[in-house]
């Protein structure tokens, strides 16, 4: 069963390769969706996959790439959009 989760990450998450690292991790576990910077300095991940894949992505978001300093990660379910790849927006 495909699930969709929106993940919002705050902290020092822009300008540190967060989106590129998120895409690489998501692709490595077969997750579909998008990652984008927000105007408020946060990063949003739209993730679609199995519950296990989404839980792995949420756990990764708490760490992020080496230069990131994550303050908080919030996530909530959303309607499935049918992504076919994982892209940076």
Tell me whether residue 70 is in a domain. Answer: yes
Predicted local confidence at residue 53, as pLDDT:
98
Domain CATH code at residue 52: 3.30.70.100
Predicted local confidence at residue 51, as pLDDT:
97
Q: Please pick, among 19, 36, 74, 89, the residue that the annotation labels catalytic.
A: 19
Instruction: Count other C-beta atoms under 10 Å from residue 58's C-beta.
Output: 17
Q: Residue 34 burial (CB < 10 Å; 0-12/13-18/19+)?
A: buried
Total number of domains constituting the chain = 1
23 is written with which tokens? 């895409």
* Spatial separation of the C-alpha atoms in residues 73 and 67, rounded to whole Å: 16
Binning pLDDT at 50, 70 and 90, where does residue 14 land? very high
Does the annotation count 19 as an active-site position?
Answer: yes
Tell me whether residue 88 is in a domain. Answer: no
Q: Please pick, among 23, 36, 37, 67, the residue that the annotation labels catalytic.
A: 37
Tell me whether residue 85 is in a domain. Answer: no
Predicted local confidence at residue 66, as pLDDT:
95
The pLDDT tens digits of the residues spanning 31-88 come to: 999 999 999 999 999 999 999 999 999 999 999 999 999 999 999 999 999 999 999 9
Q: What is the pTM of this model?
A: 0.96
62 is written with which tokens? 């708490």
- Domain with 47 in it: 3-80
* Spatial separation of the C-alpha atoms in residues 6 and 18, rounded to whole Å: 16
């Amino acid at each position: 069963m495909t699930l969709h989760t929106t993940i919002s990450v705050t902290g020092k998450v822009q300008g540190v390769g967060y989106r590129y690292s998120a895409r690489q991790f998501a692709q490595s576990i077969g997750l579909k969706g998008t990652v984008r910077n927000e105007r408020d300095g946060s990063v949003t991940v739209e993730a679609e996959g199995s519950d296990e894949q989404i839980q792995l992505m949420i756990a990764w978001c708490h760490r992020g790439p080496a230069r990131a300093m994550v303050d908080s990660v919030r996530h909530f379910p959303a309607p499935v959009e049918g992504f076919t790849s994982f892209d940076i927006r």
